[in-house]
Amino acid sequence: MSSNLAAKLQIGTQEAHTNAEHTDFMRRFLKGAVDKNTFGKLLGNLYYIYNQLEAELRCYQNHPWISPIYFPKLNRTASLEQDLTFFYGENWRDKITPTAAAQAYISRIRELSAIEPVLLIAHAYTRYMGDLSGGQMLKTISESALGLENDRGVSFYEFKEIKDLSDFKAKYRAGLDSVEVDEDLADKIVEEANIAFNLNIQLLRELEKSLVAVVN
Ligand code: HEM
């Protein structure tokens, strides 16, 4: 029986999605007002977040709640490492640290993994479905704004092992629907997805300062 989790998540995070799209950072980004320094900072934060999220999902990959949405081909950690090498050089690890908003995001993922791992579904959904959707627009914009070529610096947005993103998103939604959760748990997952959107909004707000300093 379907839990209808995909539709519940889509509807239940619509407002949060609009809020994310309307952040100053995203408005400016969509206009191409992004610089290498700020983009590098964004990728740096995302590296720490995905590294944590993917480690936790890996731990629970065989759990009946997580396995339907566990797709290693979505993993972004290695592609972020490539991009960070491109922007900061081989010793990129010495040059980046997670900001306060990234640390709060990572703490939330760690906490869930320890106390209620089923809610990691909400975090996987928020990031991966976003990367497969609006992320694809951001890829084109970053390439043109930053003068990048041949996917260098934007492999984060490239899903090389996925041929058709629309088909895959349908598969991901089917995976969400097949997670066997009751109404209460589905509601909790939607609530957690809203927390995930807010953590992303905080991350973007923090970066606005960096954009303001360079672009204005
Ligand atoms: C300017 C910024 C953004 C734009 C233009 C954008 C655009 C879009 C579009 C067009 C879709 C629908 C794709 C489809 O149904 O095939 C979508 C879906 C989605 N986006 Fe965004 N997005 C943005 C920011 C974000 C952010 C910051 C997040 C969270 C980190 C996010 C998470 C999602 C999710 C989870 C979905 C899937 C909704 C669903 O079908 O269940 N987006 N986005």
List, for residues 108-163, the tens digit of each pLDDT value: 999 999 999 999 999 999 999 999 999 999 999 999 999 999 889 999 999 999 99
Model-wide pTM > 0.85: yes
Among residues 35, 34, 46, 67, the alpha carbon closest in space to that of 157 is found at: 46
**% of residues, the chain, pLDDT over 90:** 94
CB atoms within 10 A of CB 52: 21
Probe target for ligand 1 pocket from 24, 133, 190, with the most ligand atoms within 8 Å of CB: 133
Evaluate whether the domain defined by 5-214 bears CATH number 1.10.3190.10. Answer: no
Closest atom of ligand 1 relative to the 193 alpha carbon: 35
The alpha carbon dihedral of 140, 151, 39, 16 has a sign of: positive
Domain residues of the chain, as ranges? Answer: 5-214
Measured in Å, residue 147 CA sits from the centre of ligand 1 at 24
